[in-house]
Amino acid sequence: MHTEQQDLFDKQPAPWELDAAQTQAVASVVFAAGPEKPFDYRVPEALSGQVEPGRRLHVPFGRAGRIVVGYCVRLETRQQLRPLKDVADVIDHRPLLSPAMLRLTEWMADYYMCPWATVLEAVLPAGVRSSAGTRRATLLSVPTRVAARLTELKLPKKQHDILRYLAASPRPLTPTQLAAAQKCTTGPIQELRKKGLIEAVKGQSTLAAPPRVQVNREQHLEMNADQLAALAAIRQSLDAREHRTILMHGITGSGKTEVYIQAIAEVISYGRQAIVLVPEISLTPQTQERFRSRFERVAVLHSHLTDVERHQHWQEIARGEVQVIVGARSAVFAPTPHLGLIVLDEEHEGSFKQDSAPRYHARDVALFRAAAENVPVVLGSATPSLESWHRAQQGQYQLVSLPRRVFDRPLPIVGTIDLRNEYQSRRSRGAIGRQLQLAIEEALREQGQVILLLNRRGFSTHIQCPACGKVVKCPNCELALTHHKPGEMAICHMCEFEQPAPRQCPDCDFVGIQYAGLGTQRLEAEVRARFPDVTCLRMDTDTMQAPGSHERALAKFRSGEVKILLGTQMIAKGLDFPNVTLVGVINADTALHLPDFRAAERTFQLVTQVAGRTGRGAKGGRVLVQTFSPEHPAIQAAVKHDFEMFASDELPIRDALSYPPYASMVRMVMRGPSEPATHEFAKHLAGLLQLSIAKFEPTARVLGPAPCPMAKLRGLYRFHLQLHGPNLVGICAAVREATANLQQPDEIQWIVDVDPLEML
Ligand code: ADP
Ligand code: ZN
């Protein structure tokens, strides 16, 4: 870290010219709003011992000396010539971050080119920062000198009981808490305080631990040979007490979770904690129960927690009272005192990347954290990201494979249905072709259940006039509006703009305006019409808005009450329902032709994952994939359940075009209300980047500016620039230099995204 004040200091007289008496404690402080660089403050005598890295401070800022909140990130004693302002006050009575976590945030700020304080605010939950659920209170404890001779004290019984209880409490209690616990008035507590046997300080009251969820405990399963081999690899690294990354490539249904669980059991057995990261969508009650049934103390961090609940979990974790933390992306920041292992399940999932600053990827943060704390990381997936796969091929990660399903259950047979033929022969109309129709009938006849995937919500995906060709678009985003049946609305899927669905063309007034393209609502209507006696249920973000609706829907499917589950990618992942004997993919091509270099990878992942939802029980299962491009390598590989085939087809393409994993990438997006002004600014920035790239990283390339594939979003025009090159550090240095003194018109905003996943 380099502060402005230090620069000044460097130009001051040499140390021997200074008087030792001028040595003073200096705190470096960063701010969530305002300047990005740290500012230095003098620590006054009265606050020494309280100011330390990881605590928040009140400090004067600016000419007027307005008091603001900042994070202390460093404390040092040094000679200081230039007078510094004094720290005004200390906010937190203990650090919110350990030194290791503070270093992690410093690394993130540097790697993702994001202000340090922005990272700190992302790492510390809002409820922790606001001390949600606690208040300033009198806190009682028993001084050690008293606790030592507790038995010798001659006291009335009640007072003796109170004193014993408080001495045994792991944390200080307020008078009310203590009185409630001992079923007494505050009278005897007052007596004890008067006698000096109880000590009282003013402080923030502590939170009770969150309530425990009771579930039936279960034994670990007897593992098969592949699982044992995978566990042995993890155990080796645990025993060696060293950081290692293990990529566990296990096909769907191969029993990866059991391996995680038994590795965690090992970690817990020597008093350490484990963090399990899963995509938010996989945090189902089923997943939670799998962990809760095996371990005593599990914290599940999901997005519906209130600030107080989150704060309770955070404190409980920080006290070391939790063995396993299961959560989405941000659980990687859980303040475990003795971390032993981090697991990322479905490591290829895009939701591990945050799409606002800091734009971090939980996998990379996990790798940094685990390296710093010297513990292993396990990355698990049936369809690893090509980044992780490549690293495993290079020997940076240790690869372990679970190539078979448990009990050697066969993988489902996957067939493709060429939609071009279906279309030409006109044997069927609508979303479900003839072959799929027959297969659904058969599955239902044999008492099986069916999953139908269509990765597009709404009824019709676009509204077009056949007379003049006009497509009805969002005025803010220029994307085609989707027709939603309830209320007959036309809705923008980006910004939620909505208007009544037009009856006639808004341009030429032609009355035969057509509603085309297929969404999940239309699919649902079609399924209900074709199978009127069968219960079916649609799962997409439109039907799953109410809290708990996701769980309720899955429970209905599990119980067999619902026979056909249809929906978007929400139903493609992680579900384990043995009675599903048929999976139908309505249109595998929805993501295949997007202007994104990961389009093929995403299509492969989606088809493979949804195919994995069947054949999990004794009845077996099959998959039918409707597509216009059955010969596409991504679809071919998914049909064969062959990840390695996909990787060996796709990697040479990435290499030739120098895309990740062969090159690093940084994406910059500029947006503003005026298209020409935003374009001008983007060109100006591109020019600066060309110069700094030539200086720092001449082998890298600057591409663009070009309009983003989503060229207008929420009323703002968007342009992007991409930097590709073998060396990320050099690229970032160039971006830093080019943007250091960048002046932009007020209404234009820009962002930088390191290792971008989103290219639209
Ligand atoms: P994956 O995560 O690899 O798709 P899961 O961990 O969900 O697979 O396992 C699939 C199913 O097999 C689960 O119901 C799980 O309880 C069961 N299972 C896993 N390992 C074993 C085992 N060794 N013996 C019996 N059942 C197992
Ligand atoms: Zn819009």
- For 23, the token pair is 């040595």
Token pair for 92: 């937190």
pLDDT tens for 121-164 read: 999 999 999 888 887 788 888 888 888 888 888 888 888 889 98
Is residue 19 scored above 60 in pLDDT?
no
Burial of 329 (0-12, 13-18, 19+ CB in 10 A): buried
- Ligand 1 close to Cβ of residue 228 (< 6 A): no
For residues 524 and 7, which has the higher predicted lDDT (pLDDT)? Answer: 524
Q: Is the CB of 258 under 6 A from ligand 1?
A: yes
Q: For position 79, what pLDDT does the model report?
A: 86
User: Nearest-5° angle of CA 737, CA 740, CA 741?
Assistant: 125
Tell how far the Cα of 156 is from the centroid of ligand 1, in angstroms. 59
> Tell me, what's the pLDDT at 729?
94
pLDDT for position 664: 95
Q: How confident is the model at residue 686, as a pLDDT?
A: 96
> 246 C-alpha to center of ligand 1: Å?
19
Separation of alpha carbons 411 and 511, rounded Å: 50
pLDDT band of 6, cuts 50, 70, 90: very low
* Region 90-119 average pLDDT: 94
Written as one string, the DSSP assignment of 295-347 is: -SSEEEE-TT--HHHHHHHHHHHHTT--SEEEESGGGGG---TTEEEEEEETT
For 632-658, what is the mean pLDDT? 94
Distance 406 CA to ligand 1 centre (A): 6
Nearest CA, atom 10, ligand 1: 253
- Please write the tens of the pLDDT for every residue from 564-603: 999 998 888 767 888 999 999 999 988 888 788 899 999 9
With a cut of 90, say whether residue 653 has pLDDT above it.
Answer: yes
Looking at this protein, which amino acid is placed at residue 239? Answer: D
Residues with C-beta atoms within 5 A of ion ligand 2: 474, 476-477, 492, 494-495, 497
Atom of ligand 1 nearest to the CA of 251: 3
Per residue, the 3-state secondary structure of 269-289, as one string, reads HCCCEEEEECCHHHCCHHHHH
Asked which of 110-114, 151-155, 209-213, 536-540 is least confident by mean pLDDT, the reply is: 209-213
Burial label, 56 (beta-carbon count in 10 A; 0-12, 13-18, 19+): buried
Q: Does 224 contact ligand 1 (Cβ within 6 A)?
A: yes
CA of 610 to the centre of ligand 1 (A): 17
Give the residue-averaged pLDDT of 493-522: 86
Q: What is the 328 CA–ligand 2 centroid distance (Å)?
A: 28
Nearest-ligand number for the alpha carbon of 409: 1
Task: Indicate the top mutation candidate among 576, 577, 614, 643 to test ligand 1's pocket, ranked by most ligand atoms within 8 A of CB.
Answer: 576
SS (H, E, C) 80-108: CCCCCCECCEECCCCCCCCHHHHHHHHHH
As a residue count, the chain comes to 760
Ligand nearest the Cα atom of residue 252: 1
Supply the pTM of this predicted model.
Answer: 0.87
Q: What 3-state class would DSSP assign to 420?
A: helix
Instruction: Note the ligand closest to the C-alpha atom of 381.
Output: 1
Separation of CA 562 and ligand 2 centre (Å):
34
Work out the end-to-end distance of the chain between its first and last CA atoms, rounded to an integer number of angstroms: 34
Q: Is the peptide bond before 502 cis (omega within 30 degrees of 0)?
A: no
For residue 227 and ligand 1, the question of a CB distance below 6 A is answered with yes
Work out the average pLDDT over 190-216. 83
Ligand located closest to 472 CA: 2
Side chain identity, residue 228: L
Q: Which atom of ligand 1 is nearest to the CA of 223?
A: 23
Ligand number nearest to the C-alpha of 613: 1
In contact, 580 and 451? CB cutoff 8 Å: yes
Ligand 1 atom nearest to CA at 224 = 23
Q: How confident is the model at residue 427 (pLDDT cuts 50, 70, 90)?
A: low
* Average pLDDT of the residues in 44-54: 92
Q: Is 284 in the pocket of ligand 1 (CB under 6 A)?
A: no
- Distance between CA atoms of residues 152 and 475, nearest Å: 81
**Cα 349 from Cα 78, distance rounded (Å):** 47
For residues 432 and 435, give the distance between their C-alpha atoms in angstroms, rounded to a whole number.
8
Least Cα distance to 394 among 633, 605, 655, 608 occurs for 655
* Nearest ligand 1 atom, CA 227: 23
Query: Which of 265-269, 387-391, 619-623, 666-670 bottoms out in mean pLDDT, i.e. has the lowest?
Result: 619-623
Question: Quick check: CB of 308 below 6 Å from ligand 1?
Answer: no
Task: Give yes or no for a contact between 571 and 565, defined as CB atoms under 8 angstroms apart.
Answer: yes
CA distances from 57 to 40, 73, 117 (A): 12, 10, 13
Using the structure block, give the residue that is written with the tokens 């690899």. Answer: 233
pLDDT at 1: 42
Which strands make up the sheet holding 413-418, listed edge to edge?
A: 413-418, 622-627, 580-585, 449-453, 564-567, 536-539
Question: Which ligand has the shortest distance to the CA of 249?
Answer: 1
pLDDT at residue 155, as a whole number: 87
Distance 380 CA to ligand 1 centre (A): 14
d(CA 158, CA 156): 6
CA distances (Å), origin 25, targets 12, 74, 77, 583: 18, 10, 4, 66
Q: How far, CA to CA in Å, does 62 sit from each of 47, 261, 435?
A: 22, 53, 72
Ligand 1 centroid from CA 254, angstroms:
6
| Contact 543 CB / ligand 1 (< 6 Å) | no
Instruction: Take atom 19 of ligand 1 and give the residue whose Cα is closest.
Output: 255
* Residues 313-319, mean pLDDT to the nearest whole number: 93
Which atom from ligand 1 is nearest to the alpha carbon of 574? 4
The tens digit of pLDDT for each residue in 22-37 reads 689 999 999 998 788 8
Taking CA atoms only, the protein residue closest to ligand 1 atom 26 is 406
Across the chain, mean pLDDT equals: 90
Q: How far is the CA of 627 from the centre of ligand 2 (A)?
A: 28
Q: In angstroms, what is the span from residue 280 Cα to ligand 1's centroid? A: 20
The ligand minimizing its distance to the Cα of 248 is: 1
Q: Which ligand is nearest to the CA of 491?
A: 2
Q: 380 CB under 6 A from ligand 1?
A: no
Among 251, 258, 290, 378, say which to mutate for ligand 1: greatest number of ligand atoms within 8 Å of CB.
Answer: 258
Whole-number Å distance, alpha carbon 463 to ligand 2 midpoint, is 15
Residue found by looking up tokens 């906010």 in the block:
91
The residue contributing the CA closest to ligand 1 atom 20 is: 255
739 pLDDT higher than 80: yes
What pLDDT is attached to residue 15?
53
Dihedral of the CA atoms 736, 741, 742, 746 (nearest 10)? 130
Q: Round to whole Å and give the CA distance between 20 and 354.
A: 48
Ligand nearest to the CA of 494: 2
- The DSSP bridge partners found for residue 489 are 484, 500
- Ligand 2 midpoint to CA 473 (Å): 8
Confidence at residue 149, expressed as pLDDT on a 0 to 100 scale: 84
Any atom of ligand 1 within 6 Å of the Cβ of 574? no
- Which protein residue has the closest C-alpha to ligand 1 atom 5? 255
Residue nearest atom 15 of ligand 1, based on CA coordinates: 255
Beta carbons of 117 and 32 less than 8 angstroms apart: yes
Residue 17 pLDDT exceeds 70? no
The answer to whether residue 394 scores a pLDDT higher than 80 is: yes
Q: 335-389, pLDDT tens digit by residue?
A: 999 999 999 999 999 999 999 999 999 999 999 999 999 999 999 999 999 999 9
**What's the rounded mean pLDDT across residues 688-696?**
95
Place of tokens 């989150």: 310
The pLDDT value recorded for residue 171 is: 74
Alpha carbon distances (Å) from 350 to 385, 415, 601, 606, 733? 10, 27, 11, 12, 26
Q: Which of 87-96, 147-156, 247-256, 412-421 has the lowest mean pLDDT?
A: 147-156
- Ligand 2 centroid vs 29 CA: distance in angstroms? 40
Does any ligand 1 atom lie closer than 6 A to the CB of residue 584?
no
Residue range 251-258: mean pLDDT, rounded: 93
R_g of the chain computed on alpha carbons: 30
Å from CA of 364 to ligand 1 middle:
27
Element (H, E) at 664: strand 664-672
Q: In Å, what is the CA distance from 91 to each residue of 34, 42, 120, 596?
A: 19, 16, 15, 46
**223 CB near ligand 1 (under 6 Å):** yes
Task: Please name the residue whose Cα sits nearest to atom 13 of ligand 1.
Answer: 255
Question: What average pLDDT score do residues 409-427 get?
Answer: 81
Mean pLDDT of 458-484: 84
Q: What is the mean pLDDT of residues 722-748?
A: 93
- How far CA 623 is from CA of 250, 381, 523, in Å, comes to 19, 20, 18
Longest dimension (CA), the chain: 99
Q: Is the C-beta atom of 293 inside 6 A of ligand 1?
A: no
Distance CA 648, CA 624 (A): 24
User: Quick one: DSSP state of residue 200?
Assistant: E
Contacts 24+ apart (CB under 8 A), 210-218: 210/299, 210/309, 210/312, 210/313, 210/316, 212/297, 213/288, 213/292, 213/298, 215/289, 215/292, 215/293, 216/293, 217/293, 217/294, 218/293, 218/294
